[in-house]
Structure 1
Amino acid sequence: MKKKSRLMLLVSFIFMVCLSGCAKWQSVINDLHGSLIGNSYSIYTYDNYGSQTLKTSGNKISITGNKIETTSFDSEGKTITGYDLSSVITITIDGKEIENCGDTCIFVQKGLEPEVDFSLEEISSNGGGSPASIARVLNKYKNDFGKSRVVVIKSQLGQPIAAFSGDDVYWEVPEDLPKMTKLMIDGKALYIHRANYQVIDKALL
């Protein structure tokens, strides 16, 4: 009986080793999939120039990273197959899906409102989007920032999109969400996908 138990244990172990060694299985295990923690969210999508292209909202939001197969060669010339995270994410909103590639997405928890929604025209009219012109726009709205820290979100090309303010602001990179940053602003969540941002003390503006 003991021999049979040991044999079954050995077979199970070998089976698990084989599975764990399979790149495809590892890909399934390592697929990134996470849910946004909080209440309902509004999702704002922007192009590289900071122009809003879509707004959606929902109560149950999850995000899945999509992987692509890659090949490389070792020192002996043997082919090595692996998987990298692609630029495509699948956003599931109350059971409905959006496939997103490259665009900036901002997930704003219900109850969190931006102090300022920047428009491309404002930046362009102040000098074409240079750091000095952006600073002038921020200073223009300085009195609107009622809290001590300001979060400025910018497009991938540096165009300001929106600014939030709060007394208690911190950020983290969630392990289960692809290419995402999570900010907490006075207890409300703000998730950012593929965007630049700065957290600035109001006194510096």
Structure 2
Amino acid sequence: MHKKKLVSLLSLGALAITLLSGCSNIENWELSMRSKTGALPLTVSTYDSNGQKIDQIKAKSVDIHTDKKMSQKDSSGNEKSSVIDVDYGHNRMIHVGSTLIAYEGLKNYEDEFNKHVNINDQNKAVPLLNTMYQNFKNDWNGDAKVVMIRSQLGMPIAVFTGKNVSIHKSDMKNATQFVIDGHRLVAYRADYTIYPIASLKK
């Protein structure tokens, strides 16, 4: 009898883990479909290698994908071209090379931080993310995660927080898709690190 209960409990646990890990995949698929059908508003920003914002587009419907004319696949079917299209409304931006991020429903704490803090006045002995935590700790949930996006030279360009953070492969070369509390974040040609907020309090 105890063996049957144990097997049942283990089966239920395995099923729960499968369902929970599947939830992030379902959310990712749903966000991708919303983007392809023109129902996903995004803020799209590009940055130079030093982390300086070059431009920004805010649109009610955005789809980011590999440029079909430039697309080349290797023998395994992997995309080789880094040229991407950003379709917004009836317009298209063609982009390659510099760092690009796109997000919806999220607050970029790096933008907020730069409005209020002069980086030259910051104590260099204290890591930037810890300083940001001190400024925004009332907004950042204790059991959440922080996603820091950096330019190709490692300069911070974006910081987002959320309780549920999942990372997903993108069809585009050099791009990663995130789902943060049900919202989309795309990072193209960027470094990123995900930290538990609890580690910043020390």
- Seen in structure 2, the aligned counterparts of structure 1 residues 156 and 141 have a Cα distance that, compared at 3 Å, is farther
Q: How far apart are 1:170 and its partner, in Å?
A: 1.0
**For 1:134 and 1:195, how far apart are their aligned partners in 2?**
18
Runs of 5+ unmatched residues, structure 2: 1-32
Q: TM-score, normalised by structure 1?
A: 0.63
Matched, 1:36 2:35: yes
Q: How far apart are 1:144 and its partner, in Å?
A: 4.7
Determine if contact 1:90/1:100 at 8 Å carries over to the other structure. Answer: yes
Q: Within 5 A, what are the aligned runs for 1:120-135?
A: 122-123=118-119, 126=122, 133-135=127-129
Matched, 1:177 2:169: no
- Seen in structure 2, the aligned counterparts of structure 1 residues 136 and 63 have a Cα distance that, compared at 3 Å, is closer
**For 2:63 and 2:57, how far apart are their aligned partners in 1?**
13
User: Which structure is larger by alpha-carbon Rg, 1 or 2?
Assistant: 1
Determine if contact 1:123/1:159 at 8 Å carries over to the other structure. Answer: no
Q: Which has the higher strand share?
A: 1
Matched residue type, 1:177: M
- Residue deviations 1:168-194 (CA, integer Å, cap 9, x gap): 1111112x3332211111111111111
Aligned to 1:47: 48
- Residue deviations 1:48-71 (CA, integer Å, cap 9, x gap): 11100101122332334244779x
Q: Within 5 A, what are the aligned runs for 1:2-151?
A: 36=35, 39-66=40-67, 67=70, 85-109=80-104, 111-117=105-111, 119=114, 122-123=118-119, 126=122, 133-141=127-135, 143-147=137-141, 148-151=144-147
Indicate the percent of aligned positions where both proteins have the same amino acid. 26
**For 2:134 and 2:48, how far apart are their aligned partners in 1?**
25
| DSSP-derived class of the 2:83 partner | strand
- Residue deviations 1:70-128 (CA, integer Å, cap 9, x gap): 9xxxxxxxxxxxx962332222212311121211111111x221233254x85555478
Equivalent in 176, 191, 195 of residue 186 of structure 2 = 191
Q: Which contiguous aligned blocks of 4+ residues in structure 1 show a shift greater than 4 angstroms?
A: 121-128
Runs of 5+ unmatched residues, structure 1: 1-33, 71-82
RMSD in angstroms over aligned alpha carbons? 3.4
Matched residue type, 2:55: L
Q: TM-score, normalised by structure 2?
A: 0.64
Aligned to 1:26: none
| DSSP-derived class of the 2:192 partner | strand
